[in-house]
Structures are given as C-alpha cells and as structure tokens.
C-alpha cells in the first residue's frame, strides 16, 4: 500500500518538474527532479536504532529511536528519491559551483519531499494508522545546522559537533537501502545522488533484508569523490570533514540564496547511479 501511495504521488506531482515560475534559466523549465523512488522497511524495534542513540560517533549521540517519536511504532519506512539523469548531468558540467539543475533539486526537491511526507501522513491517518515524519516534525533538531549540514561560522567545530536527532541515511541503512560511502552519502542500488525521507508508523510491515554487514560495504574507496570535492573536505584516510563541507555550502548559500548545494561528490563518481563494481585484486 505504501509503495502505491509513494509511486502515485511522484507520478502525479507537478512539483516533480521545474516550473517556469521557479526556473533560474529557460533551459531547466520542465526538467524532472526525481526518478522512481526506492523504498525500504525497518522494524521500529531494530537494535541498531538503540545503538545509534548511545554511540556518540553516530549522529552525535543525539538520535531518538522510532518509539520515542511514536510510542506504538512498529515500522519505519525509508524512501530514497534518486535525482533524474538531467539533474545529475547538469551538475557534472562544472565541478566547482552547483548547476541550476542541482540548485532546484536541493531546494524545490526538498519542498516536494516535505509534501510527500505530509501526503503519507494524511493517507495513513485516513486508513486508521498513526504516523510521524521526523523531517517535518516540530521535535526534529539539527545541531549546528541551517538545514544544509552546517551554518555560517563553523570555525573550530569538529565532526562530532554535527548531528541530529533523526538521520535519514542511518535509517535507510537499517531499512536495507544501502551502505555509506567515503563521502558519507548512502550508496543505494540507484546510486548515491538523491534525497531521503522516512515515516514512522504503527502499521506492521515485514522488514527489508539487509544484504550487507559493514557500514561501508558498497564503497570501493576508489577516491574519485576525494578528487571531485572543491572544498578538499574528503580524504581517503579520514573520510569527510563536515566543517569544511559546511563552510563550502554556506558560501554557496550566500551566492545562490535561498538555494544552495554542491553535490560534486555525488556526480561523475562510480557510485553515481548504482553500487560500484569492486576493483579486481
Ligand atoms: S566515489 Fe568511490 S570512494 Fe567515493 S563514495 Fe563513491 S565509491 Fe566510495
Ligand atoms: S563533501 Fe561537501 S563540499 Fe565536498 S563535494 Fe561533497 S557536498 Fe561538496
């Protein structure tokens, strides 16, 4: 039922196409933001959620497990919205500044995702289920965040200063959608370039199978995202430095306000459109 609702919404939403009124230039009018989503299900009582709460390296130790959002929660539904081919190729033209396509996907795309969350809450509530979408819930808190991943004036902060009380990528990992990449994006069967949302509900659904064990299992550590990053925020040795990335995004926000973005670690990489092939030994 949830798949049908999500697919129906995406196929019929005008917001999935850049409107003439919003368009930053004529060439992007009518471009599709997202392709067909991927959906994964997790048991709301999965022990990984409790581990996220107590491990300070994960989401800054501030994670709220599903049952703290919704007392009677049974299932967490995680949804990956892969960017369309046009959005990804647009952002591959210039590897320093975000393309207009990408700016729309981050800004108007986020509005679409929030609309999807509200739609799912309405539809499930009509059918008698309880439902919470943390990304639009008043209790959601992003620490050191402006809604991107940082804020103006990040100097002196370390990776552990960044976090939130709900992490869409960690939830997607639990729901079988994929594993992390060196750039800290989540590599799914439809690639790393896209956005996530999730809902917590008392509806019961079989959890999806996780065909991985390690959190970086799908990443080949090829280092292409290291070379792509205009901020020098990713290294093979230490992964992603959130402060450097957040500073760069803040610069883009000043230039393109109210839009922002970068995403060069998600395009022109072997994990852009799917799980990369392991290198031959
Ligand atoms: S570009 Fe290579 S190293 Fe970076 S996340 Fe993708 S597979 Fe991993
Ligand atoms: S890590 Fe941040 S600054 Fe670097 S490419 Fe990715 S989004 Fe851009």
Domain regions of the chain by residue span: 2-256
b vs e for 67-101, b when ≥16 Cβ sit within 10 Å of the residue's Cβ? eebbeebbbbbbbbbbbbebbbebbbeeeebbbbb
Q: pTM of the entire structure? A: 0.91
Cβ partners under 8 Å of residue 142, min gap 6: 163, 164
Is the per-residue pLDDT at 120 higher than 70? yes
Give the mean pLDDT of the chain: 91
pLDDT of residue 4: 94
Residue of 217, 238, 269, 277 to mutate, ligand 1, most atoms within 8 A of C-beta? 269
- Provide the H-helix boundaries in the chain: 2-12, 47-54, 66-69, 85-90, 100-126, 168-174, 224-228, 242-256
Q: Please work out whether the CB of residue 210 comes within 6 Å of at least one atom of ligand 2.
A: no
Per-residue pLDDT, averaged over 101-127, amounts to 97
pLDDT tens per residue, range 139-194: 998 876 444 443 334 444 455 556 789 999 999 999 999 999 999 999 999 999 99
List, chain by chain if needed, residues with CB within 6 Å of any ligand 1 atom. 181-183, 219-225, 269-271, 276
């Amino acid at each position: 039922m949830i798949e049908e609702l999500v697919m129906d919404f995406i196929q019929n939403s005008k917001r999935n196409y850049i409107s003439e009124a919003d368009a930053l230039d004529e060439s992007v009018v009518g471009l599709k933001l997202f392709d067909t989503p991927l959906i994964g299900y997790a048991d709301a009582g999965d022990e990984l959620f409790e581990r996220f709460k107590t491990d300070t390296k994960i989401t800054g130790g501030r994670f709220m497990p599903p049952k703290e959002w919704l007392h009677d929660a049974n299932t967490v539904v995680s949804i990956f919205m892969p960017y369309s081919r046009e959005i990804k190729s647009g952002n591959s033209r210039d590897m320093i500044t975000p393309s207009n396509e990408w700016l729309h996907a981050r800004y108007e795309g986020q509005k679409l995702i929030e609309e999807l969350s509200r739609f799912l809450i309405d539809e499930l509530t009509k059918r008698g289920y309880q439902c919470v979408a943390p990304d639009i819930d008043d209790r959601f808190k992003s620490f050191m965040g402006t809604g991107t991943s940082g804020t103006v004036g990040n100097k002196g902060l370390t990776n552990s200063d960044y976090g939130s009380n709900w992490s869409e990528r960690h939830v997607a990992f639990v729901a079988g959608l994929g594993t992390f990449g060196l750039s800290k994006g989540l590599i799914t069967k439809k690639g790393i370039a896209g956005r996530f949302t999730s809902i917590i509900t008392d509806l019961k659904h079989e959890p999806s199978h996780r065909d991985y064990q390690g959190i970086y299992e799908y990443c080949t550590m090829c280092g292409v995202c290291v070379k792509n990053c205009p901020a020098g925020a990713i290294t093979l040795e230490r992964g992603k430095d959130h402060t450097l990335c957040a500073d760069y995004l803040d610069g883009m926000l000043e230039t393109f306000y109210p839009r922002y973005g970068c995403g060069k670690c998600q395009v022109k990489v072997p994990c852009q459109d799917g799980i990369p092939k392991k290198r031959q030994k």
